[in-house]
Amino acid sequence: MSLTTKIETPSVTYEQPIGLYIDGQWVKGKEGKTFETINPTNEKPIVAVHEAGPDDVDIAVSAARKALNGVWADTLPSARGRMLTKLADLFDEHIDTLAAIESLDNGKALSMAKADVAASSACLRYYGGWADKIHGKVIDTDPETLNYTRHEPIGVCGQIIPWNFPLAMWSWKIGPALATGNTVVLKTAEQTPLSGLYAATLCEKAGIPAGVVNILSGFGKTAGAAIASHMDVDKVAFTGSTAVGRTILQAAAKSNLKKVTLELGGKSPNIVFNDANIEDAISWVNFGIFFNHGQCCCAGSRIYVQEGIYDEFIEKFKARTAKNVVGDPFAKDTFQGPQVSQLQYDRIMAYIKAGKDAGAKVETGGERHGDKGYFIQPTIFSGVSDDMKIMQEEIFGPVCSISKFKTEDEAIKAGNETTYGLAAAVHTTDLNTAIRVSNKLKAGTVWVNNYNLISYQVPFGGFKESGIGRELGKYALANYTQVKSVRMRLGSALF
């Protein structure tokens, strides 16, 4: 099997790398295995890619270590910044191909995939700007001592990313890691390996030295677990399910106490008050749950509507949802494509069945869409009680529950009644309500009169069981640096 193959998509034809990208080379896995990635729109294999096992992780970690202590240590911060900026420019230049790969492999609508690529290049460019602005402090203690801090790279960073935003997660991880002088071994999700490999070709073009970025396709239990428990990986950054997040933290604890940052699941509340601009609120609520087919860790899946507008809200929300075009991701008007995989499709359909069996009312949807591909109708449940599975667990699909509330306190209490704490939203025209409620919601992000607005400049991450650490913005730099204090004695001996 060669290491690239020509792939035709409805929008572009391009050359897809299928090897592992280690130490600047395209190679096969040591075990000689490959696995197929499936097109979720037609359920057919797209291509087989080479699979990384633990031995390949070892080789990639050695390459990353060599680069960390060699070429990357000798690269000026400003040069690192220029490489990230160049990489961002290449993302922009290749936007049509990168977006087509995302639509093909993940199933997201092409227009949304283009927005993902643009957001990814913006993120890389932003962190390129930080590369030569990372510095410590001088701390005065007394006239006879000079104290200063250095913000040093943590070292070799293992990064494990999910399939819902393959390129955005790639750039959220690689941008801050490289800006701060680390090297990377990144494992893409087994459902969506293609765009991360293509992006590796752009790393080469951007002049990023061999070994600084290593990209592996592979499975969680093998390659992912090998990264998490590796004795020579200094830090692991993971985005994915809370269950796997726990195993990563355990693996870090049992191996070398590598630093861990986690961005995990959510069951985010979206609260609409009587005084909200109802048309706007409905647009955002619709976007909050059905964007990316509900496959967002911050999806607004629990919708709380105040009693004065409850009936009107449900009718208008159903009408708005009916306008979401579900279908071929490459078709011009599509908003919602297929779920990423058979497994995800089955999980979501099982949740829908659980909701129905528990007696919740299906306001709209609740069935498969069409008869080919992993498409699911946008689904709204009402009459959902707090103890139902669909109210408690993350569904990760186009499924939401609506409940009625009377008072502000009741909405805050219900909103916080979850083990998660990734995001929340408030819709109101009263500034006092907006600020009061935002302050009381236990979530890493609170959106007021919007939903899912994410900026590379603004930190993102979870309270409670939704994660550890923050990505994006200046805050993310702290995940990738460790502080060294240097204390220099200027005067005579003390003892």
Which sequence positions are flagged as catalytic? 263
* Residues with Cβ within 8 Å of residue 321, at least 6 apart in sequence: 286, 290, 364, 365, 378, 380
Asked if residue 425 binds ligand ADP (CB under 6 A), the reply is no
Query: Measured from the CB atom, is 85 or 214 closer to ligand ADP?
Result: 214
With 0-12 CB in 10 A as exposed, 13-18 as middle and 19+ as buried, what is 73? Answer: exposed
3-state helix, strand, coil in the chain (%, to 5): 40, 25, 35
Stretch that binds ligand ADP, among 53-61, 65-73, 182-190, 315-323 (CB under 6 A): 182-190
Q: Is 353 in the site for ligand ADP (CB under 6 A)?
A: no
Q: Which stretch binds ligand ADP (CB under 6 A): 93-101, 113-121, 135-143, 159-167?
A: 159-167
Pick the closest to residue 477 from 182, 238, 86 (CA basis). 182
When asked if residue 169 is in the footprint of ligand ADP (CB under 6 A), the reply is no
Q: What are phi and psi of 438, to 5 degrees?
A: -60, -40
| Nearest-approach distance from CB 341 to ligand ADP, in angstroms | 8
- Please give the DSSP secondary-structure letter assigned to residue 471: B
Is residue 225 a contact point for ligand ADP (CB under 6 A)?
A: yes
CB-nearer residue toward ligand ADP: 260 or 360: 260
CA distance 448 to 107: 29
190 is an interface residue for ligand ADP by CB under 6 A? yes
Stretches 4-12, 140-148, 160-168, 414-422: which one binds ligand ADP (CB under 6 A)? 160-168
- Indicate the residue among 224 and 462 with the shorter CB distance to ligand ADP: 224
Q: Does 224 bind ligand ADP (CB under 6 A)?
A: yes
Site string for ligand ADP, 242-281 (x = CB under 6 A): --x--xx---------------------------------
How many whole angstroms from its chain centre is CA 399? 20
Beta carbon of residue 416, minimum distance to ligand ADP (angstroms, whole number) = 24
Measure the CA–CA gap between 89 and 301, rounded to whole angstroms.
35
Number of shown-chain residues binding ligand ADP (CB under 6 A): 17
Question: 268 and 301 in contact (C-beta within 8 Å)?
Answer: yes
By CB atoms closer than 10 A (0-12, 13-18, 19+), residue 316 is: middle
- Smallest CA-to-CA distance from 272 within 255, 260, 257, 284 is with 284
Residue-wise DSSP of 15-49: EEE-SEEETTEEE--TT--EEEEEETTTTEEEEEE
Please select the residue that binds ligand ADP; options are 135, 221, 254, 372, rule is CB under 6 A: 221
From candidates 65, 187, 259, 293, binder to ligand ADP by CB under 6 A? 187
**How far is C-alpha 409 from the chain's CA centre?**
32
Nearer to ligand ADP, 235 or 427 (CB): 235
Shortest Å distance, C-beta 174 to ligand ADP: 15
Q: Which of 53, 162, 269, 398 touches ligand ADP (CB under 6 A)?
A: 162
Residue of minimal Cβ distance to ligand ADP: 220
Name which of 134 and 197 has its Cβ closer to ligand ADP: 197
- Which of 157, 228, 237, 423: binder of ligand ADP (CB under 6 A)? 228
Reference 26, options 55, 49, 58; nearest CA is 49
Q: Rule CB under 6 A: is residue 471 a binding residue for ligand ADP?
A: no
Subset of 281-310 contacting ligand ADP (CB under 6 A): none
- The answer to whether residues 465 and 421 touch, using CB atoms and an 8 Å cutoff, is yes
Q: CB of 177: closest distance to ligand ADP in angstroms?
A: 16
Residues 6+ apart with CB under 8 A from 329: 41, 103, 104, 107, 108, 109, 110, 113, 337, 338
**Least Å distance between CB 202 and ligand ADP?**
21
User: Least separation, in Å, of the C-beta of 106 and ligand ADP?
Assistant: 12
The verdict on 411 binding ligand ADP (CB under 6 A) reads no
Burial group, residue 488, by CB count within 10 angstroms (0-12, 13-18, 19+): exposed
Q: How far is the CB of 388 from ligand ADP (least distance, A)?
A: 21
Kindly provide the residue ranges of all beta strands, DSSP E only, lying in 121-220, ordered along the sequence: 138-139, 145-153, 156-160, 183-187, 213-216
Which residues contact ligand ADP (rule: CB under 6 A)? Answer: 160-162, 187, 189-190, 219-221, 224-225, 228, 240-241, 244, 247-248
